[in-house]
Amino acid sequence: MAKTITIQLDSMSFVVDGTSNEELLENAKREMMKQLSIKFPHFSYEISDADVLSLENAHPGVIVKDSKGKLGIITSVNPKNKRPINVTFKGSISVAGTPQCFKLDNSTFDKARSVRPDYQTDDWYEGDSGYLKNKTDLIEVVVGKKVRGKYLVFMINNAGKGFQLTDQQLKGLLKDNKNDFK
């Protein structure tokens, strides 16, 4: 059975010479490799299933499940945050967590999506999901964060690709159900 092992090394400091930042960094890398070959530093580790999410494969619009098997859709990824991945589960329950909190899942959009409650049908918020229509197809999407007056709307399982839509465009173009299109 394949497993993912994540190793976190304690911080290491080196005194190196160099005339530019690039040269200093290269010299520090060489010194780090030398020190690692002599004595491996203290580290912490985590062993998890191989299908656990990573920051490399986490994108808005990806369907995931948590440790209890609840399905959700990633709405944003910010590697700078302590909990970099935001996921919305059914019932508009949003959580933020590390990649190890989630596993990739092949479930359908309909099983994983959070449908807007009846009292909220005038507005769209992060985590709401629905359908956009182009000339020939319906596109499954999830609403992401609002940035500079526009919402980021991501296609499902499409490597974070999507659209920027204003409130007005969301209200006119995004539909809760397939049969809402005329």
Note the pLDDT tens digit of each residue in 56-113: 889 999 999 998 999 999 999 998 889 999 999 988 899 999 988 898 899 999 999 9
Task: Supply the range of the domain harboring residue 72.
Answer: 63-180
Residue 141 lies in a domain: yes
| Total number of domains constituting the chain | 2
Other residues' Cβ atoms within 10 Å of the Cβ of residue 163: 17
Q: In this structure, are 170 and 81 located in the same domain?
A: yes
Residue 9 exposure: Cα atoms within 13 Å on the Cβ side: 10
Do 153 and 106 fall into the same domain?
yes
Residues 6+ apart with CB under 8 A from 23: none
CB 102 within 8 A of CB 85: yes
Q: How much is the pLDDT for 100?
A: 85
Radius of gyration over every alpha carbon of the chain, rounded to an integer in angstroms? 21
| Whether residues 40 and 78 fall in one domain | no
Distance CA 64, CA 107 (A): 8
| pTM recorded for the entire structure | 0.71
| In a domain? residue 55 | no
Whether residues 38 and 88 share a domain: the answer is no
Q: Are residues 77 and 139 in the same domain?
A: yes
In a domain, 169, yes or no: yes
Question: Is the model's pLDDT at 37 over the cut of 80?
Answer: yes
Q: Give the span between the Cα atoms of 70 and 103, in whole angstroms.
A: 10
Q: Which two tokens stand for residue 63?
A: 């369907």
Q: Is the distance from CB of 114 to CB of 92 less than 8 angstroms?
A: yes
Pair 91, 169 in one domain: yes
Tokens (6 digits) for 144: 């992401």
pLDDT in tens, 115-139: 888 888 788 899 999 999 888 889 9
